[in-house]
Structure 1
């Protein structure tokens, strides 16, 4: 160690960023206490989102505030900067960060020097140039999008219940989800459960009036759980009157009409886009080596290929899958999922600590144990250690697994308490769409000089 503190800059506060910083806090506790090491975490949000719980947050099974983990409280010995990395000059070891203050003041990005760089910005939604998608599509990657979608679905039931137009009613009760991966299937299944349950409180909307469609361009859904369990998931969804369209694409959604590649047309006021993700744009602004998919080329030690003092893991990194190579799949890369991200974060923190101490970093090696997916309340599919589960056992395993993985005992206890209460009481079906525009009523009152509901 030198007299100057070693600064470790972690770009991204998601799975990899938060877990890496948390383990660095623990392994470098003494050095942090003596001021020999400084850990800086940069993320646009002051919290980490546990994305597997987004479908349950959208359905009201979990409170939104329990799906996120506050970075400042969890990383008490780190400096947390709420901002976005705009560029990284690794030759000079400087990152340009735009914070809320610099954006508002127009003073430009601040420069943050570093000695060791951890790039873990995650991924962003991958969209296609489909006419009408930008205007009408709804994403499902953040807690804000999950809560917005919940409010939107319940508002559509209100519209359908109160309109006199058959066309508006049909469009309001038609919900189209594009993408048959985890996000699309779990979001659709949870919201379908919620919507059909909510229909009992509407005098003129029946569960059979609601139409859900799942559009998938390939010939299967949930590829992570295996072909057999994927086929079971399709049968389970179709048995619930969910229209699953395989080998079908969305061609256009202009004028709120979803036109599919098979020629069918569906007027709809709800189109949810979950058709994949792509690497974060900051990776292209680093000058570091990328693979053809735009992910950082990394070594098994989680170093950026051919680059000293730069590390990466998770969605942003193309990490060789040594376990798969040993099983006869040369050139395999670790899948960009939460299972690898959490385990890579542990190895990454250990390797950075070893590097600072002059020791040799170790390879990341982890055999993929399987996947679990929820298909709504008390329904699911799973393939774990070669064993296939479906129905209630798979759903229970899904909850147990993710409860064990959500960070901090505080969040585990709160989520478990909410699950317990939701099993004892009825669902909450209140729409709070006005939260998305909290100043609307005040602006109306201020503009007219009177309360909108009074004289």
Structure 2
């Protein structure tokens, strides 16, 4: 077979789902059976659940950014960019490279795993003044920002300014928000000992969520335990509350309270990547509606999985959809690769079925709550399960070594609370990290494909 006639498999996204799919395709397909291409702006897989520990300085950014180029045996071609549109009829994916060049990439099979973006609402000032916690750059930036608030408060002679810099607001009572608030509160609690001019009592953390409970998936007992741990640390939890307005120096809650703060971290859920809307196909709450085999009904060679796909959860039944978790994404990646290979070879595809193995929440230090296989754990046993799960899920031995070394070093030596320089003069907020305006409409995709012609 020559290169032109080999089937072209295009995988969009290098998250848990996309990388697992690519690795399995490379292992199971012979080099002359198909060409595999991966579209991603960064040549690494981000281990997202450990992002709060990067923000708090427990882990270094490199330790959870697992290189896609480390192994010499992988043959996948990587296009450095992001998919901004897909023309299902012409079988072309429109890509914007990291140099802003627009290219058309043809495919025979496409696996859509573009992940999700931060869910925002039409709240005045939100995208201009809030930070997100979805990317490695955001985590590193938030760490610099939080430490800079301590530096600036320590230098300030104005008590009003000092009070506003020492109050921090986290919106979102899910795993990301709860772990972010817990880890960063530990950061400021430890760092303030290096600032003898600051009153530790002025440092206040607020965790708010519109829902009536924190992390309801944990159940009442573990959820209450998590709340008790956070409140014991001094974190003020406000449920049934959200943000009405955000400004550069204060945040207004929906219950009327006005909190003077320079730090608003928004983690109130995620939505599917805007790429899905460019297909013009059926969606379920923004996620692409797919069959249990994770293929798109009516469109040959189109598969979707992970956060951007509404994959039926056959293990639960009753029309349930798989939640957007790393656990499902990892397993879906392997399963969809098998189905792509089956389709390529003219074999029958199999539906995806996976029973949830449980939940882990790392609150920093010796605090954690976990629910592996339905068993409720707290404290050190929960922490051992949480960190053991994360450590085992890391893809390479190098990443595992880095993370374990970071954990041990932090436990023994603590943190030096050094700013790395991400805190520039111009603030970078939600709108600066997620390029939601880069995607095309279905009409623009069609015009781009027809205008340039389909490359071979």
TM-score under structure 2 normalisation? 0.90
Take 1:437 and 1:159, find their aligned partners in 2: how far apart are those partners? 13
In structure 2, distance between residues paired with 1:161 and 1:437 = 19
| 2:390 maps to 1:384 | no
Q: CA deviation at 1:409?
A: 1.4
Structure 1 Cα separation of the partners of residues 182 and 384 of structure 2: 16
Partner of 2:247: 254
Between the aligned partners of 1:437 and 1:98, the Cα distance in structure 2 is: 28
Q: 2:112 aligns with which of 102, 114, 119?
A: 119
Residue-by-residue CA offset, 1:144-176 (whole Å, 9 max, x unaligned): 100110111111111111101111000000000
What is residue 196 of structure 1 aligned with on the other side?
Answer: 189
Deviation at residue 66 of structure 1 after TM alignment: 1.1
Equivalent of residue 43 in structure 1, options 36, 40, 65: 40
**Distance in structure 2 (CA, Å) of the matches to 1:257 and 1:337:** 33
Which of 312, 315, 320 pairs up with 2:312? 320
CA distance in 2, matches of 1:168, 1:346: 52
138-147 or 40-49, which moves further after superposition? 40-49
Q: Which residue is equivalent to 1:12? A: 13
Pairs within 5 Å for 1:28-427:
28=29, 31-32=30-31, 35-74=32-71, 76-101=74-99, 103=100, 109-291=102-284, 293-325=285-317, 330-427=318-415
Assess if the C-alpha contact under 8 Å between 1:148 and 1:436 holds in 2: no
Show the counterpart of 1:444: none
Kindly indicate whether the alpha-carbon contact (under 8 Å) linking 1:64 and 1:143 is maintained by their aligned counterparts in 2. Answer: yes
Where does residue 446 of structure 1 map in the other structure?
none
Superposition deviation, residue 434 in structure 1 = 5.0
- The CA distance in 2 between the partners of 1:370 and 1:150, in whole Å, is 29
- Other structure's SS at 1:140 match: coil
Partner Cα separation in structure 1 for residue 105 and residue 11 of structure 2: 11
Q: Write the distance in 2 (CA, Å) between the matches of 1:305 and 1:168.
A: 57
Q: CA deviation at 1:423?
A: 2.1
Q: Secondary structure at the match of 1:138?
A: coil
Q: Distance in 2 between matches of 1:239 and 1:255?
A: 29
Residues 436 and 224 of structure 1, relative CA distance in 2, 3 Å threshold: farther
CA contact (8 A) 1:218 1:247 kept: yes
156-165 vs 248-257, which moves further:
248-257
User: What CA distance in whole angstroms lies between the structure 2 residues aligned with 1:205 and 1:376?
Assistant: 23
Change (3 A) 1:268 1:41: same
Query: How far apart, in 2, do the equivalents of 1:351 and 1:99 lie?
Result: 29
Q: Give the match's secondary structure for 1:322.
A: coil
Aligned-pair CA distance for 1:372: 0.5
Q: Give 1:436 deviation, angstroms.
A: 4.9
Alpha-carbon offset, residue 287 of structure 1? 2.5
In the alignment, what sits opposite 1:25? 26
Conserved? CA contact 1:313–1:345, under 8 Å: yes
Aligned in 2, Cα 1:78/1:159: closer, same or farther, shift over 3 Å?
Answer: same
TM superposition shift of 1:404: 0.6
Distance 1:402 1:290 in 2: 31
Q: Distance in 1 between matches of 2:297 and 2:182?
A: 41
Q: Distance in 2 between matches of 1:66 and 1:261?
A: 39
Asked if structure 2 preserves the Cα contact closer than 8 Å seen for 1:382 and 1:388, the reply is yes
CA contact (8 A) 1:44 1:82 kept: yes
User: Structure 1's 18 and 415: CA in aligned 2 closer, same or farther, altered over 3 A?
Assistant: same
**Cα separation, 1, equivalents of 2:224 and 2:86:** 45
What is the match of residue 450 of structure 2?
none
Alpha-carbon distance in structure 1 between the residues aligned to 2:422 and 2:82: 28
- Within 2, Cα distance between the matches of 1:352 and 1:142? 29
Q: Which deviates further from its counterpart, 158-167 or 304-313?
A: 304-313
Give, in whole Å, the separation in 2 of the partners of 1:142 and 1:324. 31
| Higher RCO (CA-CA < 8 Å; seq separation 6+) | 2
Equivalent residue pairs, number: 424
Rounded to whole Å, the distance in 2 between the matches of 1:406 and 1:210 is 34
**Which runs of 5 or more residues in structure 2 are unaligned?**
427-456
Question: Could you tell me how far 1:209 is from its partner in structure 2?
Answer: 2.0
Moved more, 173-182 or 278-287: 278-287
Answer whether contact 1:320 1:331 (CA < 8 A) is retained.
yes
